[in-house]
Amino acid sequence: MKIVGITACPTGIAHTYITREKLMEAARGRGHECKVETQGSIGTENELTAKDIREADVVILAVDVKISGEERFKGKPLVKVPTETVMQNASGLVEVVERKLKSAGKI
Enumerate the H helices of 1-107 as residue ranges. 14-29, 50-55, 83-103
Q: Which residues are catalytic?
A: 9
CA atoms within 13 A on the CB side of 82: 4
Q: In what order do the strands lie in the sheet with 58-63?
A: 43-45, 33-40, 2-8, 58-63, 78-81
Map residue 106 onto helix, strand or coil.
coil
